[in-house]
Amino acid sequence: MKRKIADVDIHNQVKKNINNLADNHVSWSVPISEDEINTIKSGIVEFNRTKYINLPRDWFPESMNGLKVLCLAGAGGQQAPVFAAVNADVTVIDLSENMLKQDISVIKRDNLSITIEQGNMCDLSRFANDNFDLIFNPPSLFYVPDVSVVFKECYRVLKKCGTFIMEAANPINYMCDYVENGDYYKVCNRLPYKSFDFEEQGDWIEYGHTLEELIGGQIKCGFVITGFIEKNNPDEFCDDSFCTKAVKL
């Protein structure tokens, strides 16, 4: 008999899944190299133009020196070290201890200062109100049933005029299934999508959210959207994700 989502501890299952992926060295769990960190420190490469954070430079302050940055569900030794390399005051929070170990390894290797927190992106109660200048959230909202909980917490812990940058999966990823013998995608699923609705997903937990949830949800919390870009994957038929820049006014 197929289990219901209500019967599963979602956060512990997601942690288990991500730990397993990190153990298998998926690309987003491979830390940034020492050479890349050194080029960022030297100013040879703009910190936002690495393969890990490829965003418009004007989405970030001219100087990151001393800015309080939260990498939300952002472990893996990639984004947090980049911000630390440009002298930001960086905290990274993530459910997965195996992903956080990657950040710890980069801290030791490159003598960086990053605060490590293991925790749930839906619960930022350990952080005070109006605490951060910038929150950076790499793709992870598809592990959360209700993204509005995350947006409300981000709004609370950001300072006035603080910035929230997130990358989210294009909803079309969840609407379509790939038909291998025809080499095309077919619209099969309604949104919002829940992986537990499909027997073949097993213990994997993932949610496909609507644009209303992902963009409208930020606006409803009080954010003003000031930037939007789609991130192109040349190997796919359409942009597979997008990024927004939102400001707390």
Q: Enumerate the domain spans of the chain.
A: 5-248
Q: Which residue has the tokens 């009080």?
A: 222
- Which CA distances in Å does 221 have to 11, 35, 57, 59, 216? 23, 40, 26, 20, 9
pLDDT value for 172: 82
**Annotation: CATH topology of 5-248:** Rossmann fold (3.40.50)
- Helix and strand tally (H, E) in the chain? 8, 11
**Listed residue (137, 155, 156, 145) closest to 213, CA to CA:** 145
Q: Is 167 helix (H, G, I), strand (E, B) or coil?
A: strand
| Average pLDDT across the chain, whole number | 89
pTM across the whole model: 0.90
The top-scoring range by mean pLDDT among 11-15, 25-29, 147-151, 195-199 is 147-151
Average pLDDT, integer, range 122-131 = 98
pLDDT value for 104: 97
Average pLDDT, integer, range 113-140 = 97
pLDDT in tens, 73-112: 999 999 999 999 999 999 999 999 999 999 999 999 999 9
Average pLDDT, integer, range 233-242 = 71
pLDDT value for 1: 42
Partner residues linked to 207 by β-bridges: 194
How many whole angstroms separate alpha carbon 79 and alpha carbon 103? 9
Cα of 217 vs its chain's centroid, Å: 16
**Under 8 Å CB-to-CB from 18, ≥6 apart: which residues?**
95, 96, 98, 99, 143
pLDDT value for 58: 93
**Strand boundaries in 73-213, DSSP class E:** 89-94, 114-118, 132-137, 158-169, 176-179, 184-187, 193-194, 207-208
Percent of the chain with pLDDT over 70: 90
Q: Which residue has the tokens 């990657």?
A: 102
Sheet holding 241-248, edge to edge: 114-118, 89-94, 68-72, 132-137, 158-169, 241-248, 223-231
pLDDT value for 234: 65
